[in-house]
Amino acid sequence: MEFIDLKAQYHASRELINERIQTVLDHGQYIMGPEVGELETRLAHYTGARHCITVASGTEALVIALMALGIGPGDEVITTPFTFIATAEAIVLLGAKPVFADIDAATCNIDPSLIEALVTPRTRAIMPVSLFGQPADMEAINAIASRHGLAVVEDAAQSFGATYHGKKSCNLSTIGCTSFFPSKPLGCYGDGGAIFTSDDELAQAMREIRVHGQSRRYVHTRIGVGGRMDTLQCAIVLAKLERFEWELHQRAKLAARYDALLSGRIGRVGRGAERTSVYAQYTVVVAERERLQAHLHAAEIPTAVHYPVPVHRQPAYAHLSDPDCCPVAVEMSASVMSLPMGPYLSAASADRVALTLLDAAGVPLPGSGELAYSTC
């Protein structure tokens, strides 16, 4: 069993992907070819944001977003410590300071009730992460931001396709950033990412920053980066978009299957109200994680831990804050475990994962009636 089965996904879209790649090889415009604009138009339309700017990676998306907002030395950005390192890394790379707000134990997303107390005259932005595929509580976060004149940058690297109050992730705040890293819900076959905004000026700034701050050929209006997404990767995402809605549906069905078998028996990361998840990860919360992982591993079931050490306790970041500032993040880091998930995982495999986990945890197995629960 694969943790995320990218081969099965390729197999399902093989002809379309190969065709799209061949088209790029034939026209030869490897950088900023027609597929780049085509993908940006498609994704902007999908999210409802006015602008989409494809970039070299999710990390680059975050850096370019913060650069466009003019964030730099002396500035503070409030974010979560329970995330992939890139979120805080982008802030630090620009010379600004990440200020960590603890997470909500139910969802593992930033706890909005802790944000306002961290706002200082130096605060410029709030950077929530829509972790494991489910949007953070953006309405509460946006309300705080508007009271204090702050920008909100959603790190939506794991949540492309998810909704919040009916609106798409990436289009829930000033700027939304996503990643097309191969294992993300919408992945390419290398590095890639995209930035979304409905602010025309920010969009223009981010388009320029993406190509070395260039406003016209060899006219460098601002400091930029080499941050383009290449045409081949855009072509691959375009091909994979054709099955994306179906894939999200499969992910939701599989998550419901896990829910039905584990609910009331094993702790899980919960879902907030008025939002959908794309289940970048299906994550349980357990005691004795190492023992359970070993048991599952022996049954050839891969698991993963996102994330074993919160950012504020990472060696390179520890000097930035009090090690005890975010106890919930520390607690969750010690007890979260992600299970195999993906649109090509069968219902039978999901059952085997859940039943093996229940067995390992010493929880009575569900009766056969529950196992007959509708299959994917």
Ligand X SMILES: *Cc1c(COP(=O)(O)O)cnc(C)c1O
First to last CA, the chain: 17
Q: Which residues contact 166 (CB under 8 A, 6 or more apart)?
A: none
Residues 105-124 that bind ligand X (CB under 6 A): none
User: What's the CA dihedral at 344, 345, 348, 351 to 10 degrees?
Assistant: -150
- x/- contact string, 123-142, with ligand X (CB under 6 A)? ------x-------------
Report whether the peptide linkage leading into residue 258 is cis, meaning its omega lies within 30 degrees of zero: no
Residues 144-173 that bind ligand X (CB under 6 A): 155, 157-158
- Shortest Å distance, C-beta 355 to ligand X: 29
d(CA 155, CA 87): 7
- Shortest Å distance, C-beta 102 to ligand X: 17
Nearer CB in complex with ligand X: 193/310: 193
Bridge partners of 285, per DSSP, are 267, 336
- Shortest Å distance, C-beta 56 to ligand X: 8
Nearer CB in complex with ligand X: 9/79: 79
Q: Which stretch binds ligand X (CB under 6 A): 37-45, 82-90, 116-124, 229-237?
A: 82-90
- Shortest Å distance, C-beta 132 to ligand X: 9
Q: Which residues contact 225 (CB under 8 A, 6 or more apart)?
A: 60, 63, 64, 67, 209, 210, 212
Q: Does the protein bind ligand X through residue 176 (CB under 6 A)?
A: no
Among 132, 164, 181, 258, binds ligand X (CB under 6 A): 181
Least Cα distance to 306 among 111, 131, 104 occurs for 131
Nearer CB in complex with ligand X: 54/57: 57
d(CA 221, CA 215): 6
Q: Does the protein bind ligand X through residue 86 (CB under 6 A)?
A: yes
Rg (CA), the chain: 21
Residues 257-286 that bind ligand X (CB under 6 A): none
Nearer CB in complex with ligand X: 83/303: 83
Nearer CB in complex with ligand X: 161/366: 161
Please say whether the beta carbons of 305 and 337 come within 8 A.
yes
Q: Which residues contact 85 (CB under 8 A, 6 or more apart)?
A: 311, 314
- x/- contact string, 39-58, with ligand X (CB under 6 A)? ------------------xx
Among 9, 13, 59, 80, binds ligand X (CB under 6 A): 59
Please say whether the beta carbons of 57 and 181 come within 8 A.
yes
d(CA 72, CA 42): 32
Q: Does the protein bind ligand X through residue 193 (CB under 6 A)?
A: yes
Nearer CB in complex with ligand X: 13/83: 83
Nearer CB in complex with ligand X: 132/258: 132
Residues that bind ligand X (CB under 6 A): 57-59, 83-84, 86-87, 129, 155, 157-158, 179, 181, 191, 193
